[in-house]
A and B are shown apart, each in its own frame.
Chain A
Amino acid sequence: MNLPSVPSSHDNIAALSSGQGLAALAVIRISGPKLKDILGRVLSDGGCLRKPRRLVLDQVLDESGEVIDQVLAVFFPGPASYTGEDMAELHCHGGRAVYGRILQRLFALGCREALPGEFTRRAFENGKMDLTRAEAVMHIINARTPQQVKAAARVLTGKFQQRLENLRRQLEEALAVAEALIDFPDEEIDFPLEAELESLAKELGEIRKSLFLAGGGAVEIAILGRQNVGKSSLLNRLAGRELALVTPVAGTTRDAVRFRTELAGREVEFLDTAGLSPKPADELDRLSQEKTRKDARQAALALWVFEATEFTPPPDWCSRPILVANKIDLLEKKQKEGLEKEVLSRGGVMLSALSGEGVENLLEKIAQRLEEEFGPQEGIPVSWQQAEAIDNLVAAIRRAKDEFHHNQLLITAEELRRAMGELGRLLGQEVTPDVLDMIFSRFCIGK
């Protein structure tokens, strides 16, 4: 009854070819009939399209035209390519933050994540590879895939798995009711479907909040403050090594430097920013400050760093930052005590990025805030496909609810079926419910 999710040969596919984890370079492969169009929209210049089979410097842009990364792009017009159709490679900077965002952009432009072995399958189907080689590749991929599936499944353990299972039962019931209302219009089916759909939507909203993408996005924590207050030193201290450039010259950091780590069971990404000043010195300065504001707004959490000797309040647009008084190594004992009252009473911390004193407190504070904002630690990292599945699931339930309100029963049922499919993807199983079974075991209907 449910349509199987079979990969179509007409889709545009994209995937990371190499460079998982921390590596200097990552390569993203894209293949498909609409490739040229997609490249034209994702790249700033598109020079690779004019000069095929050459690595051409370019930039990948996000939906607002901001640069995600500088890349080397190469375009292979089909049929002279690996897959036999139009293909491209984007060589970008390694690190999940970067390639993750590039992939996300590609998905937004109409690609989907390639399944294991899919590039090879296309290569074979287009006659670029003989059967023996293709089978050999398939064999390896399939041997690995159960492992990958297991790995993905391991991620969904415990309470989260339980929640999803409960969701599935609720969804099954809603679907059974919708189907019964269609196929048995005469029967007395007493079930508050609209309320049930409300409850499903709410539960999904909760689940979605506690998820975050692994391999593409973590909880972002922006380190903000005026110039030269020690933001970069703090970042370096957190990273345990030199990531950001620190010089006594104010305003050294122009662009954001990021550091990803795990904190209290969550993936977090610290974001160093260009120092804010009430009066930007020049155009470049103004631009980098704009960028800082943007980054800060996108971040889940902000640290407002200031020199312990001189308290400066955070700007208005910065909502609920954690106050961080830095450079306490420069303070006299009496000043310290005075400051403690100010800062600690506001839930802030006092530390010295230079000496390391107090940094532990900061990490604790951050963990606490994350717990408050994002719910219990069982927040689970999920893959692209799972994240996409959740988004689709949320959208489907929402539409089911709206359409039911308008008495469009068929659409309600269709959206609920779609939702079940997405839930199946999420749980890593093909969920093909026996709808009739569900209906007849619940309702006394039929004549």
Chain B
Amino acid sequence: MNVPRGTVEVVVIGAGHAGCEAALASARLGVPTALVTFALDKIAAMPCNPSIGGLGKSHIVREIDALGGEMARAADFAAIHFRLLGASKGPAVRARRVQCDYLAYHRYMKTVLKNTPGLMLIQGEVTEIVVDGGKVTGVELASGQRINCKAVVLTAGTFLRGLAHVGLESYPSGRLGDRPANRLSQSLEKIGIYLGRLKTGTPPRLAAESIDFSDLEPQPSDPWLTFSQEPPPRLLPQVVCYITRTSQATSEVIKNSLDRSPLYTGKITGRGPRYCPSIEDKIVRFPQRDSHQVILEPTGLASGVVYPNGISTSLPADTQQRLVSSIKGLENARIINFGYAIEYDFVRTCQLSPTLACRGMEGLFLAGQINGTSGYEEAAGQGLIAGINAARFVQRKEAITVSRSEAYLGVMIDDLINHEITEPYRMFTSRSEFRLLLREDNAWERLAEISERVGLVPQAAVQSRQAVEQDIARCRQLLRSLLAPAEPEKDGRRPTLEEKLRRPEVTIQDLSVFLDEQFAQQVLERVEVEVKYQGYIQRQIQEVKKLKDLERKIIPEATVYQDIPGLSAELCEKLERIRPRSLAEASRIEGMTPAALMVLSVWISGRRVPRGTGKS
């Protein structure tokens, strides 16, 4: 298939979750885009747990929705099981989580991609990114064909020199059943990008009809909440998940096979994530536990495949069979796909700028697992930002950045860029110092300004979202002005409804009867959180102000830290190596003291630096 010169301006490499978001964003912003993938049938695949959401992750999905990305709607469409996590622990820590029918998810995304004007889908393998004089000029495919473009978004996932391990056997693989992208890694190294190595793993897949669910604890769906503000109609029925446990026998099987484990014999060099430990990790590191929980999740309504959450492994095939059979309910379970560990190249993130552009090069953007993250949500979030910025780069508009005080997207990108990645990065709420501000319920409020500047959310949706915000403001105003009936006076007057709501035992439901207007559940819940946590929210807003002050103080690129009087040799060395862009980044360096920050602050004020804007 020939692509005439000048028809494509952005090329997205890889159609995983990052690639899909990037391609959609770029095309929707009016920039002709091509999405190249090995297999059109594997668009938006879910190679691991077919679930979307969870603590930290659902926050990212809501933010994607706020900015006009697609994942939220795709997840709402394909959801077959829903849980609201943390519901009893206070409104600000809840998170939505869905199990998806993976085929439905894929079909939804593929349909959306196909129906997007200005977006071309190409099946093929990119083998080289062509760079001329520090500028990206196009890509070359394995077929010999060349596509010229102005910007490239690389979202190759775990495909770069991917190596799968099952027991002591290993074979090149990008993902289960797919070949890896080996030449692309070489191309990257050729243009000066250096890579690291990571590993991740996945459990075996089981045939549903071979599992005995009769004695297992069921986990039905919770009442449903959508990710998206404008969700597609809910068509798919809900399923039930089941909970089981490993046994002493399981531990024995594993202990006796460690000599054939690629992890424990050192065959795998990449480091795996601590929060997604393989079952052999769990047995070895916590031998005092005699059983571990396993959740059996259906991967689809008609797939007949069950994903056993909790037994990620790369032990040899026969061991996996014995391991599985030792688990209650799985005595006769048939393994359809064996679990495996996959090692892959990733791009060292110090080479990235906050816009996800590659430093030192024009027109190259990177997003997704290739940046060392794990998880579909994390990938999609980056894909969206990279796609937006690739398009804006072509349109010669200023790139957008998200601050860590505005969104988990910002926390993620800031963490990636400023810390060395030694294990796949997954989002947790504990990574943010502003958890009370970055809630699931206020994603639109936080990102409205950026979203309107970007322009991906259709006008009708913008208006309805703004209407919700106005409702919230009105509701709060009512609470503030109405007095609580049947309440004794305090300090000379009766308390307002808002003051009453501050008491721990009072809920918004108790008070909504006193309001003369009916408000949507979403509105009431937001108001409740804002009132009950007001003190803490205010405190965090103050801290955000402090952070913003620091972010505005840009450190000139050419700063020679040895020249600055009053800095210790140790700090100088760290500053030279890390090269923070602003006082905010400098303040996060280990060993930085308030006195040294003051010195830096004086130094850069004296140099009269023009306010930087984060251009890539």
Task: Please list the residues of chain A having a beta carbon within 8 angstroms of any beta carbon in chain B.
Answer: 1-9, 115-118, 121, 124-125, 131, 134-135, 138-139, 141-143, 145-146, 179, 181-188, 406-411, 413-414, 417, 430, 432, 435-436, 439-440, 444-447
A188 touches B89 (CB 8 A): no
Of A118, A409, A439, A446, which one neighbours B93 at CB under 8 angstroms?
A409
Give B551 Cβ to nearest chain A Cβ, in Å: 12
B93 touches A138 (CB 8 A): no
Report the nearest B residue to A142, measured CB to CB: B566
Is B264 an interface residue, CB under 8 A from the partner? no
B275 contacts across to A, CB distance below 8 A: 436, 440, 445-446
Report the nearest A residue to B564, measured CB to CB: A135
Contact with A along B558-588 (1 / 0, CB 8 A): 0000000111100000000000000100011
Give A193 Cβ to nearest chain B Cβ, in Å: 12
Report the nearest A residue to B567, measured CB to CB: A142
Report the nearest B residue to A418, measured CB to CB: B539
Point out which of A8, A446, A447 has the most chain B C-beta atoms below 10 A from its C-beta.
A447
Q: A446-B274, A447-B276 are in contact. Are A135 and B566 (CB under 8 A)?
A: yes
Give B168 Cβ to nearest chain A Cβ, in Å: 25
Q: A4-B588, A406-B504, A447-B309 are in contact. Are A138 and B599 (CB under 8 A)?
A: yes
Task: Please list the residues of chain B having a beta carbon within 8 angstroms of any beta carbon in chain A.
Answer: 49, 55-56, 85-86, 88-90, 92-93, 273-277, 282, 285-286, 289, 292-293, 295, 309-310, 312, 428-433, 435-436, 504, 533, 536, 543, 546-547, 549-550, 565-568, 583, 587-588, 590-599, 601-603, 605-606
Report the nearest B residue to A178, measured CB to CB: B430
B591 contacts across to A, CB distance below 8 A: 430
A409 touches B89 (CB 8 A): yes
B292 touches A444 (CB 8 A): yes
Report the nearest A residue to B606, measured CB to CB: A131
Give A235 Cβ to nearest chain B Cβ, in Å: 42
Report the nearest B residue to A184, measured CB to CB: B55
Q: A145-B595, A407-B89 are in contact. Are A3 and B433 (CB under 8 A)?
A: yes
Q: How far is the CA of A184 from the CA of B429 in the complex (A)?
A: 10
Q: A1-B431, A414-B436, A444-B289 are in contact. Are A7 and B598 (CB under 8 A)?
A: yes
A183 contacts across to B, CB distance below 8 A: 55-56, 428-430
A413 touches B430 (CB 8 A): yes
A115 contacts across to B, CB distance below 8 A: 594-595, 598
Q: How far is the CA of A142 from the CA of B285 in the complex (A)?
A: 46
Give B65 Cβ to nearest chain A Cβ, in Å: 22
B549 touches A131 (CB 8 A): no
A432 touches B590 (CB 8 A): yes
A4 contacts across to B, CB distance below 8 A: 587-588, 592, 594, 597
Report the nearest B residue to A445, measured CB to CB: B275
Give A34 Cβ to nearest chain B Cβ, in Å: 15
Of B286, B546, B598, which one neighbours A138 at CB under 8 angstroms?
B598
B590 touches A2 (CB 8 A): no
B285 touches A444 (CB 8 A): yes
Of B56, B536, B598, which one neighbours A121 at CB under 8 angstroms?
B598
Report the nearest B residue to A7, measured CB to CB: B594
Q: A3-B543, A142-B566 are in contact. Are A410 and B282 (CB under 8 A)?
A: no
Report the nearest B residue to A181, measured CB to CB: B89
- 11 further contact pairs, Cβ within 8 A, besides A5-B594, A179-B428: A6-B597, A138-B602, A142-B566, A179-B430, A182-B93, A183-B55, A409-B90, A410-B435, A440-B274, A447-B49, A447-B312
B90 touches A408 (CB 8 A): yes
Q: A3-B433, A9-B549 are in contact. Are A118 and B598 (CB under 8 A)?
A: yes
A444 touches B595 (CB 8 A): no
Of A3, A7, A410, which one neighbours B547 at CB under 8 angstroms?
A3
A411 touches B274 (CB 8 A): no
B293 touches A188 (CB 8 A): yes
B565 touches A135 (CB 8 A): yes
B504 contacts across to A, CB distance below 8 A: 406
Point out which of A4, A117, A184, A413 has the most chain B C-beta atoms below 10 A from its C-beta.
A4
Q: How far is the CA of A324 from the CA of B435 in the complex (A)?
A: 60
Give B89 Cβ to nearest chain A Cβ, in Å: 4
B310 contacts across to A, CB distance below 8 A: 447
Give B253 Cβ to nearest chain A Cβ, in Å: 18
A184 contacts across to B, CB distance below 8 A: 55
B587 contacts across to A, CB distance below 8 A: 4, 6
Q: A125-B605, A411-B536, A446-B274 are in contact. Are A2 and B433 (CB under 8 A)?
A: yes
A2 contacts across to B, CB distance below 8 A: 433
A447 contacts across to B, CB distance below 8 A: 49, 276, 295, 309-310, 312
A406 contacts across to B, CB distance below 8 A: 504
Q: A4-B592, A410-B435, A414-B536 are in contact. Are A124 and B565 (CB under 8 A)?
A: no
A8 contacts across to B, CB distance below 8 A: 546, 549
19 intermolecular pairs with C-beta atoms under 8 Å apart: A6-B546, A6-B587, A135-B565, A141-B595, A142-B595, A182-B86, A183-B56, A185-B86, A186-B85, A187-B293, A409-B90, A414-B436, A430-B590, A430-B592, A444-B277, A444-B289, A446-B273, A447-B276, A447-B309
Chain A to chain B: the 8 pairs with minimum beta-carbon distance, closest first: A446-B275, A131-B606, A444-B286, A142-B566, A4-B587, A440-B274, A409-B89, A179-B430
Give B46 Cβ to nearest chain A Cβ, in Å: 15
Of A7, A142, A146, A435, which one neighbours B430 at CB under 8 angstroms?
A435
Give A417 Cβ to nearest chain B Cβ, in Å: 8
B49 contacts across to A, CB distance below 8 A: 447
B583 contacts across to A, CB distance below 8 A: 6
A185 touches B276 (CB 8 A): no
B597 contacts across to A, CB distance below 8 A: 4, 6
A436 touches B55 (CB 8 A): no
Of A117, A135, A185, A444, which one neighbours B55 at CB under 8 angstroms?
A185
Q: How far is the CA of A115 from the CA of B606 in the complex (A)?
A: 20
Give A260 Cβ to nearest chain B Cβ, in Å: 30
Q: A124-B602, A182-B429 are in contact. Are A410 and B90 (CB under 8 A)?
A: yes
A430 touches B593 (CB 8 A): yes
Give A25 Cβ to nearest chain B Cβ, in Å: 28
Point out which of A118, A143, A184 has the most chain B C-beta atoms below 10 A from its C-beta.
A184
Q: How far is the CA of A417 from the CA of B433 in the complex (A)?
A: 9
Point out which of B436, B567, B591, B598 has the most chain A C-beta atoms below 10 A from its C-beta.
B598
Report the nearest B residue to A118, measured CB to CB: B598
Give B421 Cβ to nearest chain A Cβ, in Å: 13
B598 contacts across to A, CB distance below 8 A: 7, 115, 117-118, 121, 138
Q: How far is the CA of A124 from the CA of B605 in the complex (A)?
A: 9
Q: How far is the CA of A52 from the CA of B565 in the complex (A)?
A: 37
Report the nearest A residue to B89, measured CB to CB: A409
Q: A185-B85, A410-B435, A411-B90 are in contact. Are A142 and B594 (CB under 8 A)?
A: no
